Amino acid sequence: MSKRQAETPLEELDGRSPLLKKHRTGNDTTTRALPFHEYTIGHRESQASSISTPSSANSEILAKAHEKVKYDEDDESAISTTRRQMAPEEGYDDLYLDTINRSVLDFDFEKLCSVTLSNINVYACLTCGKYFQGRGPKSFAYFHALEEDHHPYINMETKRVYILPEGYEVKSKSLDDIKYVVDPKYTKMEMQTLDMKREPVWDLMGRKYTPGFVGMNNIKANDYFNVVCHALAHVTPLRNFFMLEDLSAKPQLAQRFSILIRKIWNPRAFKSHVSPHELLQEIALRSSKRYTLTAQSDPVDFLSWFLNHLHLALGGLKTKPWTSIVQRVFQGQLKVESQAITARAAPGDRLRFEDADVQTQLSHYLILTLDLPATPLFQDDQDKNIIPQVPLTTILNKYDGVSAQERLNTRVRYRLIHPLPPYLLFHVKRFSVNKFVHERNPTIVTFNPRSLNMTPYVEPNPAIHPSMEPILYDLIANITHEAVRTRDDSVEGEQERKVWRVQLLDRALDEWIEVQDLFVENARAETLFTKESYVQVWERRRLPNRARDKGSGRA
């Protein structure tokens, strides 16, 4: 590009330094500062032409011009096309708020900038729902506001709403519903009414839903995760802890699980379902891609991993039991007696314990495994496969302290130690894997969802409980498995796909609700056992005050 010609040739200056360029407005002459690059070029030309040192007045003018140009370059507001404001203009407090589209807002996904994939200082556009980093004059949210004419943005950490590109904050009561959906907060009074009779609520699409019994999005193959989170969200002490406690100083695993539970119980949600994407991304990172949203896993394996890592995230210790809310809710003690099988045993007494050589040890548990009897090898008279049934109390005899089992060359028997934890987790072992085949046991476990007596399986401690009353438990969650045949173009022809569901007790209405991903429907208590139970959550029934006083000797 050619250089702009000077107003006065250098030959006519007579050794004087060139002055700043001027523009005239009427009779007034105003001095205009040269841009920094023009001033540098002129200064170099003056040196090249061996011009003498400028006068003191001109030097002061040049110094002031240089400082002004440098200040303009450092100031971001000077290069921005729109003036930044600290507050809205008088009378325009609600400007651009009518452009907010609540139907497209979905704050369940991970808070990452849609351009840089950064999770630092993320803002959500309240018009289209996209995430952007920052709100300064050079940020992606700023350019998005100029290009798409989208103005309201909310900071995902501070929950403050700003108008871009002007940059001022909006303080309006009409935005409280959006801030509540981003991060729901509850009081102790609200927590006490969660399990009481509730009024029906509707989302923005006019769909009726019940808080706590909402659908959960199955992104690809994370149904194993959905059923576990639903079951844990109905364990009252665990739910109340994660909904009331401030976990901002805890690791991300505890924070994101807390947000998910609060959104499941949100009575003012924009949609009648939630998405576990944010928590799943954190779990995939912590488990080194062992549990992801693209590959189906076993709910029991995930439940065991999740409870242990949640215990550590809350500050629990590995060596000391009952150091977090997780272990105080689920952990109990188990007495294990083992004896080596020797050749001295008679042929019919292989499972009989002898007093000698018995080793006893105590261990802690979070999940109790229940073994099913072997499936029959033959068919019935009508050439149909027999689906056997077994009562839950029968397979619980594993923990009566009398029935023994063989483990390789060792006889083992188990006994639960009193007191039992407030909640019991049962795992009905249906799958067995060896080098050749993966087998499933379809045996149906029959049970009554109320009044499960655990007294026959508990060894009382006279020092703690001299006269032990019946220990009753009620079922609150039941994770079921269903095998679905799918067509396959491979050589095998058909393959078996696993479908996981969870049945939850609604304490307010004393009804059962079955949830499978986004499908929520009622279930009958009489038919709960007709499906293949895989994981069960039992809640210990609280005895009346009079019965507790009698058992403790205070009656």
pLDDT digit string, tens, across residues 376-432: 776 655 555 578 899 999 999 999 888 888 887 888 999 999 889 999 999 999 998
Of 219, 84, 51, 262, nearest in space to 162 by CA: 84
Please tell me the predicted confidence (pLDDT) of residue 476: 96
Residues 168 and 226 in one domain: no
Residues 466 and 546 in one domain: yes
Residues 129 and 275 in one domain: no
Of 144, 165, 173, 163, nearest in space to 88 by CA: 163
Please give the residue range of the domain that contains residue 126. Answer: 97-181
In a domain, 132, yes or no: yes
Alpha-carbon 15 to chain mean position:
76
Q: Give yes or no for residue 500 having a pLDDT over 60.
A: yes
In a domain, 89, yes or no: no
Residues 417 and 493 in one domain: yes
Of 268, 77, 270, 89, nearest in space to 170 by CA: 89
In a domain, 158, yes or no: yes
Give the pLDDT mean for 285-311. 95
Please tell me the predicted confidence (pLDDT) of residue 383: 52
Q: Give residue-wise pLDDT tens across range 88-143.
A: 666 666 788 999 999 999 898 889 999 999 999 999 999 999 999 999 998 999 99
Residues 413 and 491 in one domain: yes
Please tell me the predicted confidence (pLDDT) of residue 281: 94
Q: Give residue-wise pLDDT tens across range 465-481.
A: 556 688 999 999 999 99
Please tell me the predicted confidence (pLDDT) of residue 362: 92
Q: Give residue-wise pLDDT tens across range 215-232.
A: 999 999 999 999 999 999
Q: Please tell me the distance from the alpha carbon of residue 167 to that of residue 82, in angstroms, as a whole number.
A: 10
Please tell me the predicted confidence (pLDDT) of residue 197: 79
Tell me what the pLDDT averaged over the chain comes to.
Answer: 81
Distances (CA, A) of 364 to 47, 282, 330, 367, 398: 86, 28, 10, 10, 16
Domain boundary among 155, 181, 207: 181
Decide: 101 and 124 in contact? Cβ < 8 Å: no
Higher pLDDT, 243 or 402: 243
* pLDDT band of 55, cuts 50, 70, 90: very low
CA distance between the termini of the chain: 102
Please tell me the predicted confidence (pLDDT) of residue 82: 52
Q: Give residue-wise pLDDT tens across range 244-288.
A: 999 999 999 999 999 999 999 999 999 999 999 999 999 999 999
Residues 263 and 114 in one domain: no
Specify the DSSP class assigned to residue 65.
H
Residues 348 and 474 in one domain: yes
In a domain, 320, yes or no: no
Residues 237 and 118 in one domain: no
Q: Give residue-wise pLDDT tens across range 313-372.
A: 999 998 899 999 999 999 999 999 988 877 555 555 554 556 557 888 999 999 999 999
Please tell me the predicted confidence (pLDDT) of residue 544: 62
In a domain, 64, yes or no: yes
Give the pLDDT mean for 422-443. 89
Residues 40 and 120 in one domain: no
Please tell me the predicted confidence (pLDDT) of residue 35: 43
Residues 158 and 202 in one domain: no
Domain boundary among 131, 146, 181: 181
Return the exposure string of 367-380: e unless at least 16 CB atoms fall within 10 Å of the residue's CB, then b: ebebebeeeeeeee
Q: Enter the pTM of the model.
A: 0.78
Residues 109 and 16 in one domain: no
Higher pLDDT, 345 or 236: 236
* pLDDT band of 463, cuts 50, 70, 90: low
Q: Give yes or no for residue 310 having a pLDDT over 60.
A: yes
Structure tokens at 429: 């072992």
Q: Give yes or no for residue 48 having a pLDDT over 70.
A: no
Q: Give residue-wise pLDDT tens across range 503-530.
A: 999 999 999 999 999 999 999 998 898 9
For the chain, the domain total comes to: 4
Residue 109 CB burial class (10 angstroms; 0-12, 13-18, ≥19): middle
Decide: 303 and 311 in contact? Cβ < 8 Å: no
Residues 379 and 527 in one domain: yes
In a domain, 319, yes or no: no
Give the pLDDT mean for 19-46. 44
Q: Give residue-wise pLDDT tens across range 487-497.
A: 655 555 567 78
Q: Please tell me the distance from the alpha carbon of residue 398 to that of residue 344, in angstroms, as a whole number.
A: 25
Please tell me the predicted confidence (pLDDT) of residue 378: 64
Q: Give yes or no for residue 40 having a pLDDT over 60.
A: no
CATH number at residue 455: 3.90.70.10
Decide: 131 and 122 in contact? Cβ < 8 Å: yes
CATH number at residue 128: 3.30.40.10
Q: Give yes or no for residue 151 having a pLDDT over 90.
A: yes
Q: Please tell me the distance from the alpha carbon of residue 396 to that of residue 373, in angstroms, as a whole number.
A: 12
In a domain, 3, yes or no: no
Structure tokens at 521: 């429907």
Decide: 472 and 546 in contact? Cβ < 8 Å: no
Please tell me the predicted confidence (pLDDT) of residue 352: 56
Decide: 479 and 499 in contact? Cβ < 8 Å: no
**Of 51-65, 236-250, 347-361, 533-547, which has the strongest mean pLDDT?**
236-250
Q: Which residues contact 266 (CB under 8 A, 6 or more apart)?
A: 180, 181, 184, 211
In a domain, 87, yes or no: no
Q: Give residue-wise pLDDT tens across range 63-91.
A: 554 454 443 434 444 344 456 676 666 66
